């Protein structure tokens, strides 16, 4: 059996959870079947049963393009390029809307069963319009078309499945819940004070940690706003890059400067860290904070928990399926949550609600230790990539058998 993966992100170009998912899932699946990855970039390598090739849209074609339309139109151009090269795959597996046009073409041109893993849903990210303008209509259109055409849809959480059924005309029988995973051997506590000092973090002082992109979805500015409610001795470390728009970049910079005028223990690391440095910074953290206002799953929470760090996260989406409230961390409801949590959010109340359990953890070493050990056990038991790959392969086999039987 051979699976063709279509994706925007793939090493070394990874900036979010979808890219991490594809990296580890393809690595694990390649131990069992042939895997070919077609992605955005200049990658070109083979290792055993895993082959990866990067594609880039012709730059000359987009010289006069509206900057906000360039992203979706370039993604569609890559979708054509993905299919111009022949494939001997038995099915095509797409990740994020950037690859969906390519998946639709592969289904129609080559008769391949189409599998889509939903890492997020465009209707639940309305703030994307400030980044894409009318391009947001293109991304929502291709996502809707691909989900309806897919032979199987993988939801990375039960919450995601509920959202798919609520927002799209998709047969529930096509949807399979398969959680994201974590490499429990790679992600484990590994302390190195030298790495902390390299990035201006005091190894002797406890800190709250955030990893993620600078985007409305990830809620990072809500954590920045919560800093004033944290104990003054608490360090806050923000590992955050890849702003969605210049506007949110400026808002982030203004918010951080405002905090840093009153306290010197806020660190903002803007570069993308390699995995080793990332694990070492996780491992020293007193608590990890995931203040997302929309989070279908949240691999970053698994990464922190695998390193023995308790999580304080928003009570949204897949986070509720990862964090056990009071056992591995704390879940914080979005204030006055309605149909659109982004619009209904009370920012100051949410900031205070984030700070309360963080302060509780920072003040109690025994509590942090107990929740951290429980976090590690939970990850080992439920979220290994071996389990995720096994479930994915079973789905592949079902689709291929179905195709052979007509």
pLDDT at 339: 45
Q: Hey, what are 153's tokens?
A: 């849809």
Q: What is the pLDDT of residues 98-116, one digit of tens each?
A: 999 999 999 999 999 999 9
Q: Which long-range contacts (CB under 8 A, 24 or more apart) does 243-246 make?
A: 243/213, 243/214, 243/215, 244/127, 244/128, 244/130, 244/131, 244/213, 244/214, 244/215, 244/216, 245/130, 245/131
The predicted model gives 384-390 an average pLDDT of: 91
Domains by residue range for the chain, with CATH: 2-181+384-404 (3.40.50.2000), 193-382 (3.40.50.2000)
Is there a contact between 67 and 132 (Cβ–Cβ < 8 Å)?
no
Residue 145 pLDDT exceeds 70: yes
Check pLDDT > 60 for residue 299: yes
pLDDT range class, residue 286, cuts 50, 70, 90: very high
pLDDT band at 345 (very low <50, low <70, confident <90, very high): low
Q: Looking at residue 302, what is its pLDDT? A: 95
Long-range Cβ contacts of 269-278 (<8 Å, 24+ apart): 269/199, 269/237, 269/238, 269/239, 269/240, 270/240, 270/241, 271/241, 272/14, 272/15, 272/241, 272/242, 273/239, 275/186, 276/190, 277/195, 278/211, 278/239, 278/303
More confident residue, 341 or 213: 213
Residue 50, H or E segment? strand 50-55
283 closest CA partner among 366, 358, 368, 383: 368
pLDDT band at 86 (very low <50, low <70, confident <90, very high): very high
The reported pTM is: 0.80
**Cα(205)–Cα(279) distance, integer angstroms:** 18
**pLDDT by residue (tens digit) across 182-208?**
999 999 999 999 999 999 999 999 999
> How far is residue 220's CA from residue 242's CA, in Å, rounded to a whole number?
12
What's the pLDDT band for 130 if we cut at 50, 70, 90?
confident
pLDDT at 263 over 70: yes
Identify the sign of the CA torsion 157, 24, 299, 340.
negative
pLDDT in tens, 2-20: 999 999 999 999 888 899 9
Average pLDDT rounded to a whole number, residues 349-363: 95
Output the pLDDT for position 406.
Answer: 56
Q: What is the tens place of the pLDDT at every residue in 212-254? A: 989 888 999 999 999 999 999 999 999 998 888 888 999 999 9
Mean pLDDT for the chain overall:
93
Residue 320 main-chain phi, psi, to 5 deg: -70, -20
pLDDT at 404 > cutoff 80: no
Whole-number pLDDT of residue 154: 98
Q: Which pLDDT tens digit goes with each residue over 303-329?
A: 999 999 999 999 998 999 999 999 999
Calculate what percentage of the chain has a pLDDT beyond 70.
Answer: 97
Residue 337: predicted pLDDT: 45
Residue-level pLDDT at 162: 95
Distance between CA atoms of residues 89 and 4, nearest Å: 6
Average pLDDT over residues 67-78: 94
Average of per-residue pLDDT across 353-366 = 97
Least confident range of 21-35, 217-231, 328-342? 328-342
Closest CA to 279 of 242, 239, 245, 234: 239
Residue 259 has pLDDT above 50, yes or no: yes
User: In this structure, are residues 146 and 95 in contact, taking their beta carbons and an 8 Å threshold?
Assistant: no
Across the range 345-351, mean pLDDT stands at 83
Handedness of CA 211, 213, 219, 223 (dihedral sign): positive
Query: Nearest Cα to 184, choosing from 385, 388, 402?
Result: 385
């Amino acid at each position: 059996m051979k699976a063709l993966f279509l994706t925007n992100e793939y090493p070394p170009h990874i900036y979010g959870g979808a890219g991490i998912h594809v990296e580890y899932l393809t690595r694990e699946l390649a131990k069992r079947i042939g895997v070919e990855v077609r992605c955005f970039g200049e990658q070109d390598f083979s290792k055993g049963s895993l082959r990866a090739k990067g594609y880039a849209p012709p730059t000359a074609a987009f010289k006069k393009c509206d900057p906000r339309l360039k992203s979706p139109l370039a993604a569609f151009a890559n979708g054509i390029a993905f299919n111009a090269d022949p494939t001997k795959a038995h099915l095509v597996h797409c990740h994020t809307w950037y690859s969906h046009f390519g998946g639709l073409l592969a289904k129609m041109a080559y008769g391949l069963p189409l599998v889509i893993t939903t890492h997020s849903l465009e209707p639940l990210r309305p703030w994307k319009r400030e980044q894409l303008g009318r391009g947001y209509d293109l991304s929502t259109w291709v996502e809707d078309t691909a989900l309806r055409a897919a032979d199987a849809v993988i939801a990375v959480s039960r919450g995601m499945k509920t959202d798919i059924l609520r927002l799209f005309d998709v047969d529930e029988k096509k949807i399979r819940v398969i959680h994201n995973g974590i490499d429990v051997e790679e992600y484990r506590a590994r302390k190195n004070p030298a790495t902390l000092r390299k990035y201006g973090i005091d190894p002797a002082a406890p800190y709250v940690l955030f990893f993620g992109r600078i985007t409305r979805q990830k809620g990072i500015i809500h954590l920045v706003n919560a800093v004033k409610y944290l104990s003054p001795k608490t360090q806050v470390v923000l590992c955050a890059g890849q702003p969605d728009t210049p506007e949110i970049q400026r808002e982030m910079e203004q918010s951080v400067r405002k905090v840093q005028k009153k306290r010197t223990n806020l660190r903002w690391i803007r570069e993308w860290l390699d995995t080793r440095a990332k694990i070492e910074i996780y491992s020293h953290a007193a608590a990890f904070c995931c203040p997302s206002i929309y989070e279908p799953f949240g691999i970053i929470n698994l990464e922190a928990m695998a390193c023995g760090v308790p999580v304080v996260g928003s009570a949204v989406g897949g986070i509720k399926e990862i964090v056990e409230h009071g056992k591995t961390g704390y879940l914080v409801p979005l204030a006055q949550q309605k149909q659109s949590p982004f619009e209904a959010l009370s920012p100051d109340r949410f900031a205070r609600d984030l700070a309360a359990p963080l302060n509780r953890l920072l003040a109690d070493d025994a509590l942090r230790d107990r929740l951290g050990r429980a976090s590690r056990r939970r990850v080992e038991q439920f979220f290994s990539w071996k389990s995720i790959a096994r479930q994915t392969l079973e789905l592949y086999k079902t689709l291929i058998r179905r195709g052979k039987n007509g």
